[in-house]
A and B are shown apart, each in its own frame.
Chain A
Amino acid sequence: MSQLTANKTMSRKTKNFFELALIYIVVAIAFVIIFYPLLWALGVSLNPGRGLYGASMIPENWSLDHYRWLFTDPRSNYLLWYRNTLAVSASVAFFGTLITALTAYAFSRYRFKGRKNGLYAFLLVQMFPVLMAMVALYILLNTIGLLDSLFGLAIIYVGGSIPMNAFLVKGYFDTLPRELDESAKIDGAGHFRIFFQILLPLAKPILAVVALFNFMSPLMDFILPRIVIRSPEKYTLALGLYNFVNDQFSNNFTRFAAGAMLVAIPVAILYLFLQKYLITGLSSGATKG
């Protein structure tokens, strides 16, 4: 009898062991597939040569030449691109989030004529990416001559981000108890006071998410700058780096890799630090909104 139970626990133990081993193997394979392209790009960026051909993941005589070129060569606009991108990103993050929060506040807390239709309109517009109107943007910007301006680029980002984010924030505002602002109103607080001193602090998580997304879109996006921006000293990072590869593919890939690393590493670190915020903010906005 005892022999039998011992056998059973034995077999369960081995089964346990194999299962766990299998899980670890799957995880290990996933790790390899995730890390390989990233580490390969890092390795290539340290190759002294310029071409893709002959570049290897573990360079024999590694060098920081490409990084040095980006920062010191007079022909390099890299720092300028970095500054352009950060300027656009920061202003989109600030103004986009502010306007979004104001709009969401109105839709969440006030009952006014046209509110329902406004919500429908936002829902509808949210489904159409700005990209869909690129024919029009291209022709229009060409006609008016608003091409080649970082200001115009930032405005398009802010406008395009409003409908979707306003819904996210409105959904979050809806979950905050209305008694809070009602009691503040009784205490004599005005509209703006309620907004800035009561709702905004409570909505920090979702605002952080919206601000981060607004900040990221100019960093990640390459198609809109490609339509709007013409002169190399006004490029954003994504556009400038793309041109390294696009001009002569095999010639500048290592330089692209170096420039890309300097974008990817800080962004990745930021994302990993804020991942909890990002995911809870996103899912709460979608399920409650």
Chain B
Amino acid sequence: MSTNNQIKDKQNNLEQNQSKHNPTLAAILSIVPGLGQIYNKRYIKGAVLFIFFAAFAVVMLEFITSGLHGLVTLGEVPREDDSRVFLSNGILALIFSAFYIAFYILNISDAHKDAKKIQAGWKVTGILEGFRNAWDSSFPYFLVGPGLILLIFVVIFPLLFMGFIAFTNYNLYNAPPRHLLEWVGFENFTRLFTIREWRTTFVSVLSWTLVWTFVATTLQIALAMFLAILTNDKRLKFKRVIRTVFILPWAVPSFVTIIVFSALFNDNFGAINVEIIQPLFNTMIPWMTNSTWTRVALIMIQVWLGFPYVYALFTGVLTGISNDWYEAADIDGASRWQKFTSITFPHLMFATAPLLIMQYSFNFNNFNVIYLFNEGGPALRGQTAGGTDILISWIYGLTFNNQQFNMAAAISLILGLIVATFAFLQFRRSRSFKEEGTF
């Protein structure tokens, strides 16, 4: 009897305690990480959190403060301080402190949430169950963790580094470790737009990049569509063989074919001039030394390289279109062109639009074909970009040949802005974004 009473008493006590349990207090206590959890009577969790945060602070505080300091000054003693090291340590410090702050906020919100649950009558679980719950709820983070860490160090860190370089004066004449770098604000960008040589080069490279992207990709898609519809004809035999051959250019590594093409297009003894142009028209076309002809050659090569993939996509869609559509159209007396515009074309576009847009963005940054064919050349007098350089290959030239790191980084940033805007517009419309909320 008495034990029963005691238990009841305890329960009453507990309920009272629970309603008194204050989430705000838990959150405030969590300003010292772990204390809020201890207030929630989750002692082990609290202790682990406290140790984790304290250890991180002790180990990293020195690194973070000196890193951030170095990021501001970029070194003080010429010839001794290497600004590049200061810059990269500074970025690392930024990344680490971002993580620390994120975890810190998570810790506070976790204490607050637990306290709220306790207030509502939830009992603190035993250690074992607590562990299991922790394992369950943190499992996705373990899954994402390795990929995320790799991504941060391999992709995001270099991108940040590049972004910062765009605001320094790092070039051939002012290179660490001999000189210290300095922050110059938007000077590189203003130079790009106000100094005449830079501006004309930038405008001509950008416009060629856009023309290149649009013309090469559209031709590639148009040719693929034409051939796909042609080879889908019911009367045609050897379809398998034809399709396999048409996919061949995609299957051969592109660096091989581009180099082969650059030999075929050689001005003096390339097969195209010697075997085709010379006998037919009795002249030689300066494929490699005249910008316009190089551009024509590049577009033709890219069509050759790029059409098979789109062709394969289209063929897949075409074989999937039900014959009923065409039969119904036949009964209505539709012409061939009408069947194409109102049945075939919409089907093809609906199924492959996102992939086709990816083809455009691929060609926008298609470094390989531009560089391997003629290294962006022919060289033009008075500018750092060759006649066929697109933005990405111009950046390459500025980095490796001219060592104009600051300008290369500034142009990379502009390129990034273009790509990001395009991506944003595209993804807002794409299905993967909309479907995200449905389950």
- Interface residues of chain A, those whose CB is within 8 Å of chain B, are 16, 19-20, 23-24, 26-27, 30-31, 33-35, 37-38, 40-41, 44, 52-53, 57, 99-100, 102-103, 105-107, 110, 112-113, 115-116, 118-119, 123-125, 127-140, 143-144, 155-156, 158-160, 162-163, 166-167, 171, 174, 191, 219-223, 238, 241-242, 245, 253, 256-257, 260, 263-264, 267-272, 275, 279-280, 282-283, 286-287, 289
Q: Which of A160, A223, A241, A257 has the most CB of B within 10 A?
A: A223
By the criterion CB–CB under 8 Å, are B253 and A220 in contact?
yes
| Interface SS of B by simple majority | helix
Q: Mark B218-230, 1 if CB is under 8 A from A, else 0.
A: 0000000001001
Q: Which of A131, A135, A162 has the most CB of B within 10 A?
A: A135
Instruction: Scan residues 238-264 of chain B and give those whose CB is less than 8 A from a CB of chain A.
Output: 242, 244-257, 259-261, 263-264
Complex interface: chain A residues within 8 A of B331 (CB): none
Could you show 25 A-B contacts with beta carbons less than 8 Å apart?
A30-B245, A34-B246, A53-B269, A103-B148, A127-B361, A128-B416, A128-B420, A131-B365, A133-B161, A134-B395, A136-B162, A136-B409, A140-B84, A140-B161, A144-B88, A222-B255, A223-B396, A241-B256, A260-B259, A263-B256, A267-B251, A270-B251, A272-B244, A272-B248, A275-B251
Q: Give the contacting residue for B423; candidates A112, A124, A174, A242; CB below 8 A.
A: A124
Instruction: Scan residues 91-141 of chain B and give those whose CB is less than 8 A from a CB of chain A.
Output: 106, 136-137, 139-141
The residue in chain A whose Cβ has the minimal distance to the Cβ of B415 is A132
The residue in chain B whose Cβ has the minimal distance to the Cβ of A17 is B235
Instruction: Give Cα distance in the complex from A271 to B253, angstroms.
Output: 10
By the criterion CB–CB under 8 Å, are A128 and B431 in contact?
no
Complex interface: chain B residues within 8 A of A160 (CB): 154-155
Instruction: Scan residues 148-172 of chain B and give those whose CB is less than 8 A from a CB of chain A.
Output: 148, 150-151, 153-156, 158-159, 161-162, 165, 170
Complex interface: chain B residues within 8 A of A279 (CB): 312-313, 316
By the criterion CB–CB under 8 Å, are B266 and A52 in contact?
yes
Q: Give the contacting residue for B155; candidates A116, A128, A135; CB below 8 A.
A: A128
Q: Give the contacting residue for B158; candidates A27, A133, A245; CB below 8 A.
A: A133
By the criterion CB–CB under 8 Å, are A125 and B151 in contact?
yes
A223–chain B nearest beta-carbon distance, Å = 6
Residue B214 at the chain A interface, CB threshold 8 Å: no
Residue B324 at the chain A interface, CB threshold 8 Å: no
By the criterion CB–CB under 8 Å, are A132 and B140 in contact?
no
Q: Give the contacting residue for B251; candidates A53, A112, A272; CB below 8 A.
A: A272
Residue B192 at the chain A interface, CB threshold 8 Å: no
The residue in chain B whose Cβ has the minimal distance to the Cβ of A37 is B260
- Interface residues of chain B, those whose CB is within 8 Å of chain A, are 82, 84-85, 88, 106, 136-137, 139-141, 143-144, 146-148, 150-151, 153-156, 158-159, 161-162, 165, 170, 227, 230-231, 233, 235-236, 242, 244-257, 259-261, 263-264, 266, 269-271, 304, 312-313, 316, 351-352, 354-355, 358, 361, 365, 367-368, 371-372, 392, 395-396, 399-400, 405, 408-409, 412, 415-416, 419-420, 422-423, 427, 431-432, 435-436
Complex interface: chain A residues within 8 A of B227 (CB): 26, 30
Complex interface: chain B residues within 8 A of A38 (CB): 248, 252, 257, 260
By the criterion CB–CB under 8 Å, are A283 and B140 in contact?
no
Instruction: Give Cα distance in the complex from A112 to B148, angstroms.
Output: 15
Instruction: Give Cα distance in the complex from A171 to B355, angstroms.
Output: 14
A216–chain B nearest beta-carbon distance, Å = 8
Instruction: Give Cα distance in the complex from A245 to B162, angstroms.
Output: 31
B331–chain A nearest beta-carbon distance, Å = 18
Complex interface: chain A residues within 8 A of B371 (CB): 223
A12–chain B nearest beta-carbon distance, Å = 12
Complex interface: chain A residues within 8 A of B233 (CB): 20, 23
The residue in chain B whose Cβ has the minimal distance to the Cβ of A132 is B412
A116–chain B nearest beta-carbon distance, Å = 8
| Interface SS of A by simple majority | helix
Complex interface: chain B residues within 8 A of A223 (CB): 367-368, 371, 396
19 A-B pairs besides A34-B245, A132-B365, A282-B313 with CB distance below 8 A are A100-B147, A103-B147, A107-B144, A116-B436, A127-B361, A131-B367, A135-B408, A159-B150, A159-B153, A220-B253, A222-B255, A263-B256, A268-B252, A271-B251, A272-B251, A280-B316, A283-B316, A283-B352, A289-B432
B391–chain A nearest beta-carbon distance, Å = 10
The residue in chain B whose Cβ has the minimal distance to the Cβ of A123 is B427
The residue in chain B whose Cβ has the minimal distance to the Cβ of A227 is B400
Q: Give the contacting residue for B312; candidates A131, A136, A263, A275; CB below 8 A.
A: A275
By the criterion CB–CB under 8 Å, are A257 and B260 in contact?
yes
By the criterion CB–CB under 8 Å, are B159 and A128 in contact?
yes
By the criterion CB–CB under 8 Å, are A37 and B150 in contact?
no
The residue in chain A whose Cβ has the minimal distance to the Cβ of B235 is A20
Instruction: Give Cα distance in the complex from A38 to B245, angstroms.
Output: 12
B192–chain A nearest beta-carbon distance, Å = 15
A123–chain B nearest beta-carbon distance, Å = 6
Instruction: Give Cα distance in the complex from A280 to B84, angstroms.
Output: 46
By the criterion CB–CB under 8 Å, are A118 and B144 in contact?
yes
Q: Give the contacting residue for A222; candidates B84, B85, B248, B368; CB below 8 A.
A: B368
Complex interface: chain A residues within 8 A of B260 (CB): 37-38, 40-41, 257, 260
B138–chain A nearest beta-carbon distance, Å = 8
By the criterion CB–CB under 8 Å, are A40 and B252 in contact?
no
Complex interface: chain B residues within 8 A of A242 (CB): 255, 259, 372
B177–chain A nearest beta-carbon distance, Å = 9
The residue in chain B whose Cβ has the minimal distance to the Cβ of A279 is B312
By the criterion CB–CB under 8 Å, are B146 and A139 in contact?
no
B320–chain A nearest beta-carbon distance, Å = 10
Complex interface: chain A residues within 8 A of B156 (CB): 125
Instruction: Give Cα distance in the complex from A23 to B423, angstroms.
Output: 39
By the criterion CB–CB under 8 Å, are A286 and B358 in contact?
yes
